[in-house]
Structure 1
Amino acid sequence: MTELTAIGGPSAWHSGDFDGRDDWMLELTDAERAEIDEAIRLSRSLDIQAISRVDFPLPGLSARLAQLRTRIKDGAAFGYVRGIPVERYDRETQLRVYWGLSRYIGDPIPQNRNGHMMGHVIDVGDRPDNVDRRLTQSNAELAFHSDSCDVVGLLCVRTAMRGGTSAIVSAIAVHDEMLRRDPELCATLYEPVVLDRRGEVPPGKAPWFEMPVFTRHNGQFNGYGPLPQYIESSQRFADAPRLTERQRAAIDLFYAICADDRFCLRIPFKPGDIQFLQNHLIFHSRTAFEDWPESARKRHLIRIWLSLPDGRELPSIFLNKWTNITRGTKRGGAIVTEGKTPMIPFEPEIRAFA
């Protein structure tokens, strides 16, 4: 590899850069909420998955959503929508609005082998040490990581009694700080790291895969944040490459920088928020949480994965995890099991591979 250099640019932010700023937040006005209500009415005869931007017209709000999309794609790589009145919508309407707004950002893609086009992030009692499950249906901490899509969205329906705080960090800022502190360990993360597929194994593939944390392709930087539990559980497979001490040291430094308050931006969710993040430039996490005793008050987020038709070119090694990387197509997401039809579950499914 050629000598590494710092990357910088508008996506290389520090948490303090947003002190006193709210340009990352699209707070809905009463007039924009009225537009959404009218779009609900106009799209009501359509199945949610059939809704396009044309079917969910937002004549005033669409311009602000376009600005938010540009920010996500080419700027700080994240943005929020605030003020969706989720408390007065039933579940079907919540999902309809979420889908309709998300269509102004990208194209929804399946999130798991069951073909779920939206996923419920809620504690259903999964044990975080279950190596055949994802971690999102537990109340455990999630370290900084990436999802397998261009953009991930999270709609907040309810917050936890305590904890569950969302945090994001600039992948470029983490890279550049790591390069400053220890160039050799930074270079190590340009080499593949082995990860567990956690039971979602495509036909003909091993139950583990390899992916670098940092890549550069066609002059662009890409980050891929691995969950530490997935790194460690990959070692249960005898044919998986063994983690080296150098890799462990690099991963430890990576997570330490991600969690550093100078880099990590913590933004508490409010009900009615949507968080949109570009996965190639943002790593995201959440703290562990304690839920309300009443099941109707449990912390509940709804996730959507989006493909950007005008997104960046990706290196071929992404095919180790992604189903497709071709720019201009619906890329990323999960391989849906043969015989399964893409669908939107209105409520959490205990065995949904969320």
Structure 2
Amino acid sequence: MSTFIQTNLEKPRAWFPQELSRDSSWIHFLSREAVTEIEEALQHAKATGKNWLEMTANDFPLKRHAKQAIDQAFAVTQTAYGMCLLKGFPVERWSVEDARLAHWGIGLNVGVARTQNIASQVMNDVRDEGGSYKVKNGRGYNTNAGLDFHVDSCDVVALLCLQTAKSGGTSKVTSSIAVVDEVKRLRPDLIPVMQQPFYYSYQGTNDASQPPFYKCPILGDDPEFFALRANRKNVTAAQRDFPEVPRLTSAQIELLDLLDELLPDDKFCYSMQLDRGDMQLLNNYVVIHSRTNFEDHEEPERKRHLLRLWLSIPQGQRLPPLWKEYFGDIEAGSVRGGVRGSQITEAFLAYEKRQAEHLGMTLRRAT
């Protein structure tokens, strides 16, 4: 069983950009000792010769300073602003493969990785690989496009920045709670609409046994735990690609239009440029994110490159009942989320079971 730092900070709450500018409590810096211990863990992991899915936290052993820094950063995502920026990973002296292994090893210490695409990969390279965004089955992570505001399919998304763009690629984050408060103020009649099911395309990432779309309300109705899930691009794709999906009502369209106005508004949206060695951690139930389009450097080794992990974590909150169709499990501290894809392996299933047991998390597999 892993031990996690308990914080006395408040539960996630509404925030505004000027607060993030004034209060740097959500920005953490790795100490020299923590960096040394992370690099020692990296060398240990390399020496095991194991592939990722065979590894446990013992194969990436974090000593006191590093463990405290990592545990605290993830704990902070469940409080106040719902996010943490952890700075100082020495990516400039790591190969890309070493950076991938370090990112994976940190994940082993805090959560259960979720598969992210049709190939059932547990880590994605966020870089321009010539993909297209707003097309059938288009995803944003392999393009240089600006992205719609969205949340990822996990408790916490962890992005490790290896290279920055020549220009653009600005990260944008907005408090989902603040935006819902604004909807309540402007259009209280649309709150019940937010709690109606919306239909989303899986964008081709579903398992063959699953339908190609799913339904999920945008706003949860749990009185204790706020939860919002929105991705208009995938709603639009479901309307375009699947005639059997119920058509959006005029009220649902009004709501989506209002969210499109509010989410990028400077009153609510905070912009940040990730630096090399930054790890951005976002709680997907209370923070919604985006990025601007970007222009890359010419040299391949300098092109914008981030590594993305989707993680279920033991501190994960309870989710709304109507989210179960998509997440698979809604109980606090359960393994849920991700997209299955078509290449789930026995090795992944063994990893998932082992990690859940190590972290004391509930694992109920879909049948």
- In the other structure, the counterpart of 1:144 is 149
- Residues 1:201 and 2:206 are matched in the alignment: yes
After TM superposition, the score normalised by the length of structure 1 is 0.88
Q: CA deviation at 1:214?
A: 0.6
Secondary structure of the equivalent of 1:76? coil
How many residue pairs were aligned? 335
- In the other structure, the counterpart of 2:299 is 294
Task: Select the residue among 60, 70, 91 that pairs with 2:75.
Answer: 70
Secondary structure of the equivalent of 1:128? coil
Amino acid at match of 1:233: A
- In the other structure, the counterpart of 1:317 is 322
Amino acid at match of 1:33: V
Amino acid at match of 2:44: L
Choose between structure 1 and 2: higher helix proportion.
2
**For the residues of structure 2 that align with 1:111 and 1:325, how far apart are their CA atoms?**
19
**For the residues of structure 2 that align with 1:197 and 1:89, how far apart are their CA atoms?**
35
**For the residues of structure 1 that align with 2:236 and 2:341, how far apart are their CA atoms?**
26
- In the other structure, the counterpart of 2:135 is 130
Secondary structure of the equivalent of 1:193? strand
After TM superposition, the score normalised by the length of structure 2 is 0.85
Secondary structure of the equivalent of 1:19? helix
Q: CA deviation at 1:339?
A: 6.2
- In the other structure, the counterpart of 1:35 is 37
Cα pair 1:110 1:342 within 8 Å, conserved: no
- Residues 1:191 and 2:196 are matched in the alignment: yes
**For the residues of structure 2 that align with 1:338 and 1:107, how far apart are their CA atoms?**
18
Cα pair 1:43 1:51 within 8 Å, conserved: no
Q: 1:62 to 1:210 in 2, by over 3 A?
A: same
Residues 53-64 of structure 1: pairs in structure 2 closer than 5 A? 55-64=60-69
**Which runs of no fewer than 5 residues in structure 2 stay unpaired?**
1-9, 349-367
Amino acid at match of 1:290: E
Aligned structure 1 segments of 4 or more residues deviating by more than 6 angstroms = none
Residues 150-229 of structure 1: pairs in structure 2 closer than 5 A? 150-217=155-222, 219-226=224-231, 228-229=232-233
Cα displacement string for residues 76-111 of structure 1 (whole angstroms, at most 9, x for unaligned residues): 210011111111111221112212223343222222
Amino acid at match of 2:200: L
Q: CA deviation at 1:148?
A: 0.8
- In the other structure, the counterpart of 2:355 is none
Task: Select the residue among 17, 20, 23 that pairs with 1:18.
Answer: 20
Q: 1:55 to 1:201 in 2, by over 3 A?
A: closer
**For the residues of structure 2 that align with 1:99 and 1:45, how far apart are their CA atoms?**
15
Amino acid at match of 1:234: A
Cα displacement string for residues 188-246 of structure 1 (whole angstroms, at most 9, x for unaligned residues): 111112211111233443322221111122521111021x2222221121101111221
- In the other structure, the counterpart of 1:105 is 110
**For the residues of structure 1 that align with 2:330 and 2:221, how far apart are their CA atoms?**
15
Task: Select the residue among 228, 232, 244 that pairs with 2:236.
Answer: 232
Amino acid at match of 1:75: A
Q: 1:255 to 1:341 in 2, by over 3 A?
A: farther
Cα displacement string for residues 99-124 of structure 1 (whole angstroms, at most 9, x for unaligned residues): 22233432222222322111011111
**Kindly, what percent of the aligned residue pairs are identical?**
31
Cα displacement string for residues 236-284 of structure 1 (whole angstroms, at most 9, x for unaligned residues): 2110111122111111111211111121111111011110111111101
